[in-house]
Amino acid sequence: MPIKQLKKFLDDHEVKYLTISHSPAFTAQEIAASAHIPGHEVAKTVMVKVDGKMGMAVLPAPMHVDLAQLKEVTGATTVELATESDFKELFPECELGAMPPFGNLYDMDVYVADALTHDELIAFNAGTHTELLRMEYKDFERLVKPKVLAFAT
């Protein structure tokens, strides 16, 4: 979703957010450093396939998805990382790897690592590798209605 559409969605739902421009960065930790935000507040989106269905695993930048744990907590038969070719066409308006964690707008499940819920604010890619949006976690949770699970290490 282009940044304009995402901002309109947030504005329509009366969510306060901050747009942060930063130099090009591609890993969540680089983004945190470039934007001068603590890494645990940067929510990275990892595309996964849960029983063959595309989903988003959203977790703090310094953490990693434990696929076995995600499989266990979702009760799935199979959980695997999605390849770029699996999802790049789902987000044609976003730079590859810079999708905002609003899977609900793409009819996909969003799994949030419980560790992310401990922060009052979160920041995430806004469709590009040079722009973040920062907002209150409670607003993100209200809009996305993610499944909060323990799957990050």
Domain layout of the chain by residue ranges: 3-149
Q: Which region holds residue 116: left if phi is over 0, alpha if psi is between -120 and 50, else beta? A: alpha
**Average pLDDT of the residues of the chain:** 92
pLDDT (average), residues 97-109: 92
Q: Report whether pLDDT(105) > 80.
A: yes
pTM comes to: 0.92
How does strand 109-113 pair with strand 53-60? Answer: parallel
Q: Fold for domain 3-149?
A: YbaK protein (3.90.960)
Model pLDDT, residue 57: 98
Residue 80 has pLDDT above 70, yes or no: yes
In 3-state terms the chain splits into helix, strand, coil percentages (rounded to 5) of 35, 30, 35
Q: How much is the average pLDDT of 10-22?
A: 94
Of 67-76, 91-100, 110-119, 142-151, which gets the smallest average pLDDT? 91-100
